[in-house]
Amino acid sequence: MSGIFLTNTLTRKKEKFDAINLDKVGIYSCGPTVYRDIHIGNLRTYLMSDILKRVLAYNGYKVFHVKNITDVGHMRTDESQGQIDPVIAEALKEGKTPQEVASEYTKKFLDDEKALNIIPADVFPKATEHISEMIELTKTLIEKGFAYPSTGSGQVDGTVYFDVKKFKDYGKLSGNTLDKMDKLLEVVRVSSETDKKDSVDFALWKKAEVGRSMKWDSPWGEGFPGWHIECSAMSLKYLTDAFKDGKFSPETSVSLVESRSRRIDIHTGGEDNIFPHHEDEIAQSEAATGEKVVNYWLHAGFLLVDGKKMARREGNVYTVGDLVKKGFNPLAFRYLTLTTHYRSRLNFTWDSLKAAETALNNLYRELTGYVTNGEVKGVNSEFENKFVEAINSDLDTSTALTVVWDLVKSDLTPSEKAATLYRFDRVLGLDLEKVAKEAAEVPAEVRKLVEQREEARKNGDFEESDKLRNEVKSKGYEVVDTEEGSKLKKIV
């Protein structure tokens, strides 16, 4: 297979990837809302984006990655309706400002990504730092006739809606086209917001309720952004030329071979983002620019827990911290996600995580045996070609892991195996070289014990040999007897 093939949610097909700017690729990933710990279901999606980025880099592309931080709530607080903005709610609960809460959980999120070996994005734009861009984009949509301010008593009443029926391609990502939406919403039209023209319309900017702590001035009065507008504004700002000197300028045009263009290569998220978030994002971005903005949409499948949807009411929401408390290496979860295609739903159980950790430790153990006993060189092209064929076929990591274990079981030299595994780990991200190098630093006392055991074996003193083997094991190493002599493996 030549080239990279990705399943594009927009076309529902596996397509050959063609970068807009030759060897440069721009990726936008929907990031976390930072008012509580990020759970492993969210992190499965971020791991998919990480594998994508690594595969592109493996194929020689220079990747520029943007992952937003949602540090502003998008809900009105109405206690009479039992509704409260989650960011503000968490701040009240902890006795902190919303900004303090967002800062705390942003740090925790970045720590979790680091624990899982997720390469940091090049930019982590915060929603609160891009309000002006969201306002500019909203103004453009009003000027182009795709949005309208709500009115109360004949005056602008502070909320701005996107006029969905003005965007004829609505529904092309999710399949929730306007005719289907009309049927779905017939039963709720009477009870929907009275300031909308139509129930299918969604908010770009919301009027702030009395006493709201997170609000900003706008041409429509004090308010805060809708959920979808932040991703349109920040993806367009950082990955296209649509913003110039802080102003939205959709008429700008540049050559596709320049560092920036009118389009974004890839947008990623979880399957729960497809509708309404990404559908509405497409409507906003394309209505504002007048053209297709994102070429490829990639979505990761849900992570289930014991066959059920992860939900706090079920008590089955787990974080990286929960895995660590149970004694697991966070990279065991990374390995677990590699065993299933990113588009498939992954069922998490503690038994499956234990199996993944066992497999990972076995891989570490094999690898340390290779490097403890010689130099590392000679990537095997046959196995690398099989590995590349797998990862380039829609990020097929489960097949790539099969190639890994076929390599381990092969009759290649330890040097070739180690060198090839190191190369594969550019995509897998399992810390293979780091673990192997640490294990290769065998203490002098252990080496001496191994030499003494070899001497005992030559002399036929197998009782002494077994005694020395156990002593080596107590030091954290395993002696494996082969035709070429005794080999050491670090016990991990």
Residue spans of the domains in the chain: they are 5-300, 305-440, 444-490
Residue 193's pLDDT is 53
> Mean pLDDT in the chain?
88
φ, ψ dihedrals at 23, nearest 5°: -100, 10
Q: What are 453-473's pLDDT values in tens digits?
A: 888 888 889 888 889 888 888
Residue 98's pLDDT is 85
Quick check: 252 pLDDT over 60?
no
Residue 143's pLDDT is 96
CA atoms within 13 A on the CB side of 63: 24
Quick check: 87 pLDDT over 90?
no
CA 91 to chain centre: 26
Integer CA distances (angstroms), 53 to 187, 264, 398, in order: 44, 14, 17
Quick check: 487 pLDDT over 50?
yes
Quick check: 36 pLDDT over 70?
yes
Quick check: 253 pLDDT over 60?
no
* Cα 40-45-50 angle, rounded to 5 deg: 110
CATH fold of 5-300 reads: Rossmann fold (3.40.50)
CATH class of 305-440: mainly alpha
Q: Is the bond preceding residue 276 a cis peptide, omega within 30 degrees?
A: yes
* Cα 318-359-46 angle, rounded to 5 deg: 40
Lowest mean pLDDT among 129-143, 202-216, 257-271: 257-271
Lowest mean pLDDT among 251-255, 269-273, 421-425, 462-466: 251-255
Residue 63's pLDDT is 96
Integer CA distances (angstroms), 483 to 288, 367, 460, 487, in order: 70, 18, 17, 10
Residue 438's pLDDT is 79
Q: Within a 10 A sphere around the Cβ of 457, how many other Cβ atoms? A: 18
Quick check: 316 pLDDT over 60?
yes
Mean pLDDT along residues 189-197: 60
Confidence band, pLDDT 50/70/90 cuts, at residue 483? low
pTM of the prediction? 0.87
Confidence band, pLDDT 50/70/90 cuts, at residue 445? confident
In three-state secondary structure terms, 27 is: strand
Residue 1's pLDDT is 47
Q: Cα separation of 113 and 116, whole Å?
A: 5
In three-state secondary structure terms, 118 is: coil
CB 27 within 8 A of CB 296: no
Give 145: exposed, middle or buried? Use CB within 10 Å, 0-12, 13-18, 19+. Answer: exposed
Residue 163's pLDDT is 97
Residue 26 DSSP label: E
In three-state secondary structure terms, 149 is: strand
